[in-house]
Structure 1
Amino acid sequence: MAPQNLSNAIRQSPPVDLTIPYDAAWVKGKTILITGGASGFGASFVRLWANNGATVIVGDINVNKGVELVRDVQKESGNKNIHFVHCDVTDWQSQVNLFKEAVKLSPHGGIDTVVANAGIAGEDNMQRGKDLDAAEPPKPEFKIYDVNSTGVLYTTHLAYFWLPRNPDSVECSMESKPAERVRDRHLLLLGSIASFSSIAAQPQYGAAKHAVMGLFRSLRATSHPQGIRVNLLCPYFINTPIVTPTARFLLAGGGMGEIKDVVDAGTRLVADSRILGRGLVIGPNLNIKQLDNGDWKLVELKTPGSHETAIWEVYADDWVEVDAFLHRIVRVINAFQAMRGWAGWASDIVKMVAYKVGIVNR
């Protein structure tokens, strides 16, 4: 049987031209619900969007961090439409309560953007079973998968109910005028480089992030009736506490992405209502030149034909192109690691120890 061709059915805009500027102020007046927004780059999203006039409802399991963040952001931005709602994304009723409360807190009674940001990493017990030969083997705890996959499915299910009910919103369109259009219907999924690449010693995380990619690819083809635009962020290893000391040791000498670049990429997708069905990868800031065969080469600054970037578009509509993308980005990141050498490795080890002992805690 010939493969199905969904290219005409998928609601997808052209590849994102990262050289075209966008304005973060386009989020002004939008109501944005974000899960896992109390820390990491979730908290940085909240700060930027609040400073640009959005209403932001932060759902997170960490009450202390959530309350503190909202208090600080309200004070810094002068924006009082920033709210915290306790939410355990693995608990269905907790997410239901979050969405209902968000609608109540929204100045216009609707939700413009849902950001499925909640995620965790940590020691994975998938390959280390205990007492499984007992008469009643203990049920394993797969919290990493539950948060990163099941929690995202709950968020998505609720988003598809509430986004079309956003007052005065219209179906998504590539002809949208983001500077004028406030009401939106947007779901932003948080995947990972692990959404299309293997990740050693983290089978739950890898499985969950692969699931997010599959969810994204499916939703783009079936979002027409509700007029919802769906986009995807796929961060590489980003310099946040979610990267464990063990992971930092293994990554020492290489490069990690920075929160500001994740926030930049995510804000572009949230603010620019013309972007439909696209995926952005965020990694180390590199100066690269594209060769005739499509590969990227790490080069010196100001090399003719080169450009500096930490954000790439992954062509998630075609697995052949995804594989080519993965090949290219791995080669250029490996080149960056080789360029940093032992000095870079030693510097990263010092930073890893600082994280481990609590000297550095973002």
Structure 2
Amino acid sequence: MGSYIPENMVKAIRQSPPIDVSIPYEAAWVKGKTILITGGASGFGAGFVRHWAEHGAAVIIGDINVEKGSALVQTIHRETGNQNVHFVHCDVTDWQSQVDMFKEAVRLSPHGGIDTVVANAGIAKRDMLQQPSKLSAAEPAKPDLKIMDVNCTGVMYTTHLAYYWLRRNPGSEPCDMDSQPATRTRDRHLLLVGSIASLAPIAIQPQYGAAKHAVLGLFRSLRSTSHPQGIRVNLICPYFIDTPIITPLSRMLIAGGAMGRVEDVVDAATRLVADSRILGRALVIGPKVTVKQKEDGEWELVNKGEEGSTETAVWEPYADDWLEVDAWDRNFVKLINSVQAARGWAGWAGDMVKAIKLALGYGRS
């Protein structure tokens, strides 16, 4: 093959510069966009829907939970007056169900196309992969791979369909990091929802960790090849966020540490959806902390208002580069451990009480 390099290779593999989250953006840039989101009936997915609808986007929610999805749409219609918010029943593990959802989204779209697809649907539950069966059984029972079905296969289906419909978005132009987000409504954007489990292992959740690692691998691959098709691909990786998806057992295991807030996840995702200049970047969302960067590049937890400090819940993990992300992981874990130490036994006790209440059915929405 020699040293031949296609002329368009450099142009094809394009990535915008690292995101400076201290620079403001306008949530109003989502106005006029049609956004399709899977799993938007609850959790921070519902937070996305509310926020984008409040700022004038048309939003189609695909979710398996008809009761919650329908109730959310009715509430948004009543509270915001935005009637371009719709619920479509969808089982993301079923190919035809997703096809039907995309077709319905195009039909419901005010301009007949889809600007952003958010592959948000995901589940977490007790994972028995490491405990296949009773040792006295004649042979192991077939494992329940529902977590992989939803969090991996479902995302692959969503991605495949997004690549078909995003390029058919009428009036849209190929993605461009020099675009003007304030005036660019017609977009071609795929937002993948990973997790901190995309970057680091989750000891008692092998399926969840495997699926979210797969989402990271998907992002890294698509990031390099989507630009010629005019599609920008971005990723969010929430840490443990205080939503019902965090099971009581998980809450007990991480008791004493701090969890992230839904509003910070919504903020990070909205930045990526609204700002058409952002191509191929990832953001991690964790607990809001005040930090100061030391000379060696690592962060230390400091008091709010200290000179040179920054308060943030959103971080750029450089998820496209393995060397950078490994160093970032070590730094972030040390910071989270510092937060846990600062909260002390009082923080642990409060978290345990909340976990027990949720296990008994109190406080669930």
TM range, normalised to the smaller chain?
Answer: over 0.9
Does the residue aligned with 1:176 lie in a helix, a strand or coil? coil
Match of 1:182 in 2: 185
2:62 match: secondary structure = strand
Indicate if the aligned counterparts of 1:131 and 1:138 stay in contact, CA closer than 8 A: no
Q: Determine if contact 1:29/1:54 at 8 Å carries over to the other structure.
A: yes
* Contact 1:132–1:138 (CA under 8 A) maintained in structure 2: no
- What root-mean-square deviation, in Å, do the aligned CA atoms of Structure 1 and Structure 2 show? 1.6
Describe the shift of the 1:32–1:42 C-alpha distance in structure 2 as closer, same or farther (beyond 3 A). same
CA distance in 2, matches of 1:312, 1:178: 22
Give how far 1:287 is off.
0.3
Distance 2:203 2:362 in 1: 27
TM-score under structure 2 length normalisation = 0.95
Matched residue, 1:216: 219
Identity of aligned residues (%): 68
Deviation for aligned residue 1:131: 6.5
One-letter amino acid of the counterpart of residue 298, structure 1: L
Q: Does 1:339 align with 2:342?
A: yes
Consecutive unaligned residues of structure 1, counting only runs of 5 or more, are none
Residue in 2 aligned with 1:203? 206
Matches of 1:141 and 1:231, distance apart in 2:
30
Of residues 348, 352, 355, the one that matches 2:358 is 355
Partners of 1:285 and 1:349 lie apart in 2 by: 20
Match among 252, 258, 261 for residue 258 of structure 1: 261
Query: 1:161 aligns to what SS in structure 2?
Result: helix
1:141 deviation in Å?
Answer: 1.7
Give the equivalent residue in structure 1 for 2:65.
62
Give the SS at the match of 1:165. Answer: coil
Q: Distance in 2 between matches of 1:297 and 1:8?
A: 39
Aligned to 1:32: 35
Structure 2: distance between partners of 1:131 and 1:234: 36
Deviation of 1:360 (Å): 1.2
Asked if residue 241 in structure 1 is aligned to residue 249 in structure 2, the reply is: no
Q: String of CA shifts for 1:198-255, please: whole Å, max 9, x gaps.
A: 1011000000000000000000111123110000000000000000000100111111
What is residue 232 of structure 1 aligned with on the other side? Answer: 235
User: Any idea what SS the aligned residue of 1:225 has?
Assistant: helix
Residue 158 of structure 1 corresponds to 161
Q: Do structure 1's residue 285 and structure 2's residue 288 form an aligned pair? A: yes
Q: What SS does the corresponding residue of 1:221 show, helix, strand or coil?
A: helix
**In the alignment, structure 1 residue 301 sits paired with structure 2 residue 304:** yes
| Cα separation, partners in 2 of 1:9 and 1:166, compared to 1, 3 Å | closer
SS of 1:266's equivalent? helix
Cα offsets for 1:93-145 (capped at 9, x unmatched): 00000000000000100000000000000100111112698777543220011
Is 1:143 the counterpart of 2:146 in the alignment?
Answer: yes
Does the CA contact (< 8 Å) of 2:12 and 2:228 recur in 1? no
**Structure 2 Cα separation of the partners of residues 55 and 307 of structure 1:** 35
Q: CA deviation at 1:9?
A: 4.5
Q: 2: distance between equivalents of 1:321 and 1:197?
A: 13
Q: Tell me the equivalent position of 1:102.
A: 105
Q: 1:43 to 1:315 in 2, by over 3 A?
A: same
For each residue in 1:69-94, what CA deviation from the matched residue of structure 2 results, as whole angstroms up to 9, or x when unmatched?
11111111100010000000000000
Does residue 122 (structure 1) correspond to residue 125 (structure 2)? The answer is: yes
Instruction: Say whether residues 1:267 and 2:270 are aligned partners.
Output: yes
Alpha-carbon deviation of 1:355?
A: 1.5
Q: Is residue 46 of structure 2 the alignment partner of residue 43 of structure 1?
A: yes
Provide the C-alpha distance between the structure 2 equivalents of 1:164 and 1:91, rounded to a whole number of angstroms. 23
- Tell me the distance in 1 between the aligned counterparts of 2:40 and 2:192: 13
Aligned equivalent of 2:22: 19
What stretches of structure 2 of length at least 5 have no aligned partner? none
Equivalent residue of 2:212, what SS? helix
